[in-house]
Amino acid sequence: MKLYSIKDHAETVSFSQAVKQGMGKNQGLFFPTEINPIDDIDALLEMNLVDRSRVILQSLIGDEFSEQVLHEIVEGAFNFPAPVVKVNDKISALELFHGPTLAFKDFGGRFMAQCLSRLTSGEKITILTATSGDTGAAVAHAFYGIENIEVVVMYPKGKISFLQEQMFCTLGGNIRTIAVDGDFDACQALMKQSFDDAELRQAIGLNSANSINISRLMAQICYYFEAFAQLPKAQRAQTVVSVPSGNFGNLTAGLLAKALGLPVKRFIAATNINDTVPRYLQSGEWDPKATQATLSNAMDVSVPSNWPRIEELARVKGWDLSELASDFLSDDDTKSAVVALSDQGYLCEPHGAIAYDRLNAQLSDDEFGLFLCTAHPAKFKESVEDILGHDIGLPKELADCADKPNLSVDMANDFAALRAFLMA
């Protein structure tokens, strides 16, 4: 399969190149040259997660991996469940936090690591990634201990939860972490500057594991199919999917799943008060404002990197983006949504609660709703307990890292400092 850069359609690469390269010239994102609907979706949904995902990914990747190798990659990456859990008669939650770092990013991070470990031939690779919370842990754990691959994770200092930070800043080894004096958008800007530096890119074998890397995005497509496989057949075509949205990789994957034939009725892009996309869809003006810190910190993004892919997909498919529902929620209303879910017997953290609230508000009588729960509530233990007024406990994965020393390096929002760190 070939992919092209959205910024320059003449720049085309193979899937293997795209995984190793991360992005094209001038920060161009790679996009598939072909997105052909898969035959017999009903039969596909009867398969188990691993077999189904292999078919989905083969349709996108082509013959760059044999069926056997791709099956092994998927089997090694997706070795945990993604259950659909009923909240009430109209709405269910897709729980994506049952992987090793308790967040949906485990799907993309582990798939990318499995791919990259088979595509390298001993050359040094440096994975540089920016995280607003959960990407850092997923990528760090996915690549931890893999030879010839070093991972550098940047995150906004003081703007992610303590337990999110502990999950990836305590590993050491081939994992280095940087607390940047700035917000997530500043971290993304530093990362993009790094990729624009040809000398740096060549010297350290620079790559990215953010959702700008096409392998991570393709992995995320698979759990949308897994969700629909768990829904009653008669309900699928009337199902509305609400996606908590920050950098918009999750929604991009959902829209790609729809392009492949998954019968999603429509999507809702749910954001916090960093509402660049909801305002854009309403006014037609792209007007990012300064990023504001919120309870749903992983969505504190004002310039979502994956939005160009959504616009490209709409162009290719002839979709009208004005039909994409999008809305935001304040912190006070987010707290109310966490309480509303708790009152129904469902424990949720702020990101999933935002997706639930906007879904609940927009669902028609003849529709069913599915919202994505992207992280375990305990990753936001302090805020959830503060909202609900009681202890929610701590799973083993978090308890094991809570007391370990944080190995991060503090750094100013300065590219020269980052460049020197990477070249050292």
Report pLDDT digits (tens) over 12-39: 999 999 998 888 888 899 999 999 999 9
Rounded average pLDDT over 303-330: 96
Rounded average pLDDT over 275-284: 96
For residue 360, give the 3-state DSSP assignment.
helix
Distance between CA 64 and CA 66 in Å, rounded? Answer: 7
> In this model, does residue 325 exceed pLDDT 80?
yes
b/e burial code for range 132-165 (CB count within 10 A of at least 16 → b):
bbbbbbbbbbbbbebeebbbbbbbbbebbbebbb
Exposed, middle or buried, 37 (CB in 10 Å: 0-12/13-18/19+)?
exposed
Rounded average pLDDT over 264-287: 97
The edge-to-edge listing of strands for the beta sheet with 91-95 is 84-86, 91-95, 368-373, 239-244, 266-271, 325-328
pLDDT at 312: 98
Structure token digits, residue 55: 């078919």
Q: Which helix (H) or strand (E) holds 12?
A: strand 8-14
Distance between CA 261 and CA 36 in Å, rounded? Answer: 9
For residue 91, give the 3-state DSSP assignment.
strand
Confidence of residue 411 (pLDDT cuts 50, 70, 90): very high
Q: Could you give the residue ranges of the DSSP H alpha helices within 62-161?
A: 67-77, 105-119, 135-143
pLDDT at 79: 96
Q: Which residues contact 389 (CB under 8 A, 6 or more apart)?
A: none
Distance between CA 175 and CA 169 in Å, rounded? Answer: 8
Instruction: Tell me which of 334 and 198 has the higher pLDDT.
Output: 334
pLDDT at 179: 97
Distance between CA 227 and CA 93 in Å, rounded? Answer: 9
The whole-model pTM stands at 0.91
Distances, alpha carbon 25 to alpha carbons 13, 62, 152, 209, 410, in Å: 12, 24, 21, 17, 29
pLDDT at 68: 96
Q: What angle do CA 69, 73, 75 make, to 5 degrees?
A: 110
pLDDT at 121: 77
- Per-chain mean pLDDT for the chain: 94
Cross-strand partners of 180:
156, 411
pLDDT tens by residue, 115-164: 988 888 778 899 999 988 778 889 999 999 988 899 999 999 999 889 88
Distances, alpha carbon 203 to alpha carbons 17, 139, 165, 188, 310, in Å: 17, 22, 29, 21, 32
Confidence of residue 249 (pLDDT cuts 50, 70, 90): very high
- The amino acid that residue 19 corresponds to is V
Q: Could you give the residue ranges of the DSSP H alpha helices within 260-372?
A: 276-283, 307-317, 331-343, 350-362
Query: Any idea which of 54-63, 120-129, 324-333, 387-396 has the lowest mean pLDDT?
Result: 120-129
Structure token digits, residue 403: 């007391």
pLDDT at 144: 94
pLDDT at 237: 97
Structure token digits, residue 303: 């310039």
- In 3D, which of 149, 122, 87, 120 has the Cα closest to residue 16? 120
Distance between CA 255 and CA 263 in Å, rounded? Answer: 11
Distance between CA 26 and CA 241 in Å, rounded? Answer: 33
- In 3D, which of 34, 7, 29 has the Cα closest to residue 18? 29
